[in-house]
Amino acid sequence: MQTSVTNRSILLAHLAQLVSVIIISVGFMVQKSLVREFAAPTILLWQFLGASAVMWLICLVRQFHRSVSRRFAFILLWGGMAPGLVMIFTIYGGARTDGVSLAVMWGLLPLLVPALGFLLLGERAHWSLGLGAAIGFAGLIVLSLSREAVGAGNLTGNALVLLAVLCASFSQIVGRRMNRGAIPWFQVATLQVSGALIAIIGLSLATGTLTLLPLTLPLQGIAMAYLVLVMTVLNYALFNYALRHLPVAWVSIYVALNPAFGTLAAIVILDAKPRPLDWIGMAIIIGGVTLPHIHALLHRRSR
């Protein structure tokens, strides 16, 4: 009975992380549609403020676990690092480098996290996960081939994006450790989002973007509702659920799907025109992420 419950939790965790990656990929395109009208820090401020309010309300209704008080400040700091600093570094680094460099550096995350998981958590990743991540990175390179670079890259921009990738990588390690404890995963997610909000308030004060968000069009309201309820509340709940039940190497390999789903979202939401190389790159990425699943399935059938 216990084994069947565990297997169900693991299956749901894989599904949760897959849905989380899809939500994030679509969310970036939704954010991009709003950035045309509003400053990025202002969008982030109201996105995380609204999400924090919803998540705290849910937690207060369900009551906090007694262990929260011992980890309260640490989880807030974790949220300040990721997604707080991750988004801040990405915004300002992305503005100072080209889109191809940005995508390639983020493609390093599924390769970095398994190594960090082994060094800091003692979680050994199967060879199929490393190979799948490497194939996914190759697919990202194919996606980037012949793509016109938007903006010129410089050392400062690349350094900021690299810092964002490192923060996100270490965030998965910290998140895995937090979610292996007694605190329920949704409460961990709530404190993580709250920590990010504190970092974003600091950014808004520093940049003078602590202002209202006048949504004048119905589509803008729908977009903001998606960012608050789906991209933040649902996404970070799913992400923390996945970290509770899966080793970080499994969680991180799904991140390799971001460029593929992001390209599809750009086609649908922003009316981007796909190239033949885009479809080839997306197929390679999906193949890389699927590889460890196929290996695991064949291994179970052979026993």
- Model pTM greater than 0.75? yes
Q: Give the single-character DSSP code of 66.
A: T
Would you say residue 1 lies in a domain?
A: no
The pLDDT value given to residue 150: 47
d(CA 3, CA 224) in angstroms, rounded, equals: 41
pLDDT in tens, the chain (303 residues): 445 657 889 999 999 999 999 999 889 888 888 887 888 889 999 999 999 999 999 998 887 777 777 788 899 999 999 999 998 898 888 778 776 777 888 999 999 999 999 999 999 999 999 999 999 999 999 988 866 554 455 788 889 989 999 999 999 999 999 999 888 999 999 999 999 999 999 998 988 888 888 877 788 999 999 999 999 999 999 999 999 999 999 999 999 998 888 888 888 877 778 888 889 999 999 999 999 999 888 877 776
Would you say residue 5 lies in a domain?
A: no
Would you say residue 3 lies in a domain?
A: no
Do 248 and 117 touch, CB atoms closer than 8 A?
yes
Would you say residue 165 lies in a domain?
A: yes
The pLDDT value given to residue 208: 86
d(CA 119, CA 173) in angstroms, rounded, equals: 10
Domain that holds residue 88: 12-302
Residue whose C-alpha is closest to residue 239's, from 74, 78, 40 = 78
Residue whose C-alpha is closest to residue 208's, from 41, 84, 16, 87 = 41
d(CA 267, CA 132) in angstroms, rounded, equals: 25
Would you say residue 44 lies in a domain?
A: yes
Read off the tokens for 242.
Answer: 């996945």
The pLDDT value given to residue 130: 94
If one counts every other C-beta atom within 10 angstroms of the C-beta of residue 112, the result is 17
Residue whose C-alpha is closest to residue 167's, from 238, 254, 93, 256 = 93
The pLDDT value given to residue 229: 97
The pLDDT value given to residue 81: 95
The pLDDT value given to residue 35: 82
Would you say residue 4 lies in a domain?
A: no
Number of domains in the chain: 1
The pLDDT value given to residue 94: 77
The pLDDT value given to residue 114: 95
d(CA 118, CA 125) in angstroms, rounded, equals: 7
189-221: string of b/e by CB count within 10 Å (b at 16+)? bbbbbbbbbebbbebbeeeebeeebebeeeebe
